[in-house]
Structure 1
Amino acid sequence: MSQISKIAIINKSAPYGCSNGQESLDMAMAMSNFAQDVSVFFIEDGVLQLLASQNAATIDAKGYSKTFPALEFYDIENIYVCQQSLQQRGISSEQLCIPVTLIEFEDLGDLLASQQHVMSF
């Protein structure tokens, strides 16, 4: 019988220009399929991934933001967003495509310390 691990996935990259956002989303869902306790964090430019008003077609890119609501079906409920990162970019939580838990940047360290594994994208 396998042991459940607490895994943190940190998103720091903007949604386009590299595949980090899509890869982190795929990783979160895959880890959840293996019954791991996954928490997803969005900090810095990573908060831009959650904007509801994205249209990737305008830059001829593949959009994946519509996949975020599927996290609920994968039992990924711990979705944390840095409040300061939102404020620095002029974004309110109402503009995000899924419900999240807002955290202060200062609390990030404590939350990550409770995880067994941390991956950053």
Structure 2
Amino acid sequence: MAKSMLIISRRAPWSGLSAREALDIVLAGGAFDLPLGVLFLDDGVFQLACDQHPAALEQKNLAANLQALPMFGVDALYVCGHSLARRGMTHASLGLPVEVLDDAQLAALIAQFDEVVTL
């Protein structure tokens, strides 16, 4: 049986390659039917914001790839409620259906997975 893996994405989509690398890992794992979850934490919550304009920063838009996650069997998407609040964001402002978690729920989520990768 395949080990389950939680990918924690902590970087904004425009702050380097970490967000794209996390997404690549998720898409590859999903293509091989690995049990996966994705947690957007800290500045990683900015990846979920609607109405981004990455071309202004000469970056590629991650939104299309994020929207494809369910097609790869990745439906377990989570976001830290505290991270959203600290950045002035709300659940309604997000471009993907994600489950908002509080700190206690985050600890329980992380404990559910065999492997945790943070980028």
2:34 to 31, 36, 49: 36
Shift of 1:34: 1.4
- SS for the counterpart of 2:68 is helix
Shift of 1:66: 2.2
Shift of 1:10: 0.1
Distance in 2 separating the partners of 1:95 and 1:53:
9
1:12 to 10, 21, 42: 10
1:92 corresponds to 2:66: no
Quote the residue 1:110 is aligned against.
108
Which digits, 9 at most, give the CA deviation of each residue in 1:28-67, with x for residues without a partner? 0101111210000011101001111100011121221221
One-letter code aligned to 1:38:
L
Identity of aligned residues (%): 29
Quote the residue 2:25 is aligned against.
27
TM-score (norm 1): 0.93
Quote the residue 2:62 is aligned against.
64
Distance in 2 separating the partners of 1:54 and 1:66:
12
Q: CA RMSD in A?
A: 1.0
Q: Which range moves more in the overlay, 82-91 or 101-110?
A: 101-110
Following TM superposition, where does structure 1 have runs of at least 4 consecutive aligned residues deviating by more than 2 angstroms? Answer: none
Which segments of 5 or more consecutive residues in structure 1 lack a partner in the other structure?
none
Quote the residue 2:79 is aligned against.
81
Distance in 1 separating the partners of 2:100 and 2:15:
26
TM-score (norm 2): 0.95
Which segments of 5 or more consecutive residues in structure 2 lack a partner in the other structure?
none
Size of the aligned set, in residue pairs, is: 119
One-letter code aligned to 2:66:
F
One-letter code aligned to 1:106:
A
